[in-house]
Amino acid sequence: MTERKTPMLDELEKGPWPSFVTDLKRAAEKNDSVKDLIAQLEQSYEEKKGHWKHGGIVGVRGYGAGVIGRYSDEPEKYPNIAEFHTLRINSPAGWFYDTKTLRNVCDMWEEHGSGLLNLHGTTGDIILLGTKTNELQPTFDAFSDAGFDLGGSGSGLRSPSACCGPARCEWACYDTLDVCDNLTHEYQDEMHRPMWPYKFKFKFSGCPNDCVASIARSDLSVIGTWRDTLRINQEEIKNYANSGMDIQGRVCEKCPTKALTFNSETKELFVKAEDCTRCMHCINVLPKAVRPGKEKGATLMIGGKSTILRSAFLSWVIVPFMPLEAPYTELKDLIARIWEWWDEHGKTRERIGELIYRLGMGNFLRAVDLPPVPQMVKEPRANPYIFWQADEVIKADEATK
């Protein structure tokens, strides 16, 4: 292979930050497909045009998801990336590995593919970038023998993902890792054999800090919360105040619902429980003094997604509070009803949030048998999603006759 010049890519190595170009060049020393990848990318930059072809059929036996087929549209010029498919590997809940496992992942991927990989981005999966069609099954077999499975892709369930939760974080209001693992096993078919209108994602955050950004990145966001009132340790509040923390300015005035009052004489902090929206702000600023309540569970929200048929949506509340204890029967029953309605009424490529937008929150709630609650109001003093039904209005009419 002759070395090709890549002036535009080289430019990207000049800043003070680490560059993916440097990484690619290093990988290219070991792998010819990366050489062609770099050359084709340079051409794309020159022409301001992508050179990847999508689609077709690639996969491993029995699976309809987890492999994303890609081909160069100039295979004669770039023979080593004529086929350059991506595999998604389902990652462990909370993304914990030991070093031996990570080395093994790298070794397997250098043997079977380009050696390029991406950990835990938007999908949550391990993304293996670039291999040939005839390497797909051997790659899958190797990862499978090492205890890994493919993740989701296409019109099915995507690999669920969770924040590190109770493993490392004291704010976790439920066991994100266990729910994620439990549901991943429960819904193997939904993940591996895509049969829906379009994709569906769960993401589990242990508290409203929402470290996996489930509100924006998942169709069903499960976000830990507490039902009672947050707990305040007045001794620690005094310590914060004495060490110069501006509790009035940094905590009380930043509370979105003004639920907090600080007595600067006695150096005590008080919360009006019914006003607190459980946003975590005061806890994040005063972690030693304030913590979540005792009665813990999760808020379920629906419809988060990026743009496709409609603009990007953040998910919105459907269940303000659900206790989450294994085996998560209440959650699974609700999921079953949600999927059934969506699968029945959704158009091709329509996400659940878009379907609710099209048919109305009221219809959705009646179909999945959830009561309307004040937490569903779109925004204060704005139009709620809940309207009177025709039969209810007729009854009222008759009453006035």
Q: Does 68 bind ligand HEM (CB under 6 A)?
A: yes
200 binds ligand HEM (CB under 6 A): no
- Which structure tokens are listed for 15? 């800043």
User: Residue 102 or 308: which CB sits closer to another protein?
Assistant: 308
CB of 24 to another protein, least distance (A): 26
Query: Phi/psi class of residue 162: alpha, beta or left (left: φ > 0; alpha: ψ in -120 to 50)?
Result: beta
Q: Give kind and range of the element (H or E) at residue 101.
A: helix 99-112
Q: Which does 18 bind (CB under 5 to 8 A by kind): ligand SF4, another protein, ligand HEM, none?
A: none
Q: Give SS3 for 367.
A: helix
Binding to another protein by residue 307, rule CB under 8 A? Answer: no
Answer for which of 8, 68, 82, 377 binds another protein (CB under 8 A) is 68
Q: What is the DSSP letter of 280?
A: S
From residue 317 to residue 356, the character string flagging contacts with another protein as x (rule: CB under 8 A) and all else as - is --------------------------xx---xx-------
- Minimum Å distance from CB 261 to ligand SF4? 10
Q: How many CB atoms lie within 10 A of CB 401?
A: 4
Cβ distance to ligand SF4 smaller for residue 278 or 351? 278
Of the candidates 312, 296, 156, the residue with the CA atom closest to the CA atom of residue 222: 296
Q: From the centroid of its chain, how far is CA 198? A: 16
3 state SS for 300-326: EEECCECCCCCCCECCEEEEEEECCCC
Question: CA 369: distance to chain centroid?
Answer: 26
Residue nearest to ligand SF4 (CB): 206
CA distance readout (Å), 123 to 84, 105, 118, 391 = 19, 18, 10, 44
Give me the DSSP letters along 9-68: HHHTTSSSS--HHHHHHHHHTT-HHHHHHHHHHHHHHHHT---EEE-S----TT-SSSEE
Do 222 and 212 form a contact (C-beta atoms < 8 A)? no
Nearer to ligand HEM, 118 or 248 (CB): 118
Name every residue whose Cβ is closer than 8 Å to that of residue 243 and which is 6 or more positions away in sequence. Answer: none
217 contributes a contact to ligand HEM by CB under 6 A: no
Number of chain residues interacting with ligand HEM (CB under 6 A): 15
In this structure, is the dihedral angle defined by the CA atoms of residues 109, 113, 119 and 125, taken in order, positive or negative? negative
Task: Say how far apart CA 236 and CA 214 lie, in whole Å.
Answer: 32
Partner in contact with 295, chosen from another protein, ligand HEM, ligand SF4, none, beta carbon below 5 to 8 Å by kind: none
- Output the smallest distance, CB 278 to ligand SF4, in A: 5
The span of 58-66, 122-130, 298-306, 362-370 binding another protein (CB under 8 A) equals 58-66
The answer to whether residues 10 and 21 touch, using CB atoms and an 8 Å cutoff, is yes
Q: With binding defined as CB under 8 A, does residue 130 bind another protein?
A: no
Q: Which stretch binds ligand HEM (CB under 6 A): 116-124, 280-288, 333-341, 353-361?
A: 116-124
- 25-64 footprint of ligand HEM as x/- string (CB under 6 A): ------------x--------------x------------
Burial (CB < 10 A; 0-12, 13-18, 19+), residue 267, is middle
Q: What residue ranges bind ligand SF4 (CB under 6 A)? A: 163-165, 169, 171-172, 205-207, 209-211, 230, 255-257, 259-260, 271, 276-282
C-beta of 37 vs 283, nearer to ligand HEM: 37
Stretch that binds ligand HEM, among 115-123, 160-168, 185-193, 315-323 (CB under 6 A): 115-123
Q: List beta partners, residue 205.
A: 223
155 binds, among ligand HEM, ligand SF4, another protein, none (CB under 5 to 8 A by kind): another protein
Say whether residue 365 binds ligand HEM (CB under 6 A): no
Binding site for another protein (CB under 8 A): 55-57, 59, 61-65, 68-69, 153-156, 189, 193-198, 343-344, 348-349
Q: Which residue ranges make up the site for ligand HEM (CB under 6 A)?
A: 20, 37, 52, 68, 70, 84, 86, 118, 121-123, 125, 127, 129-130
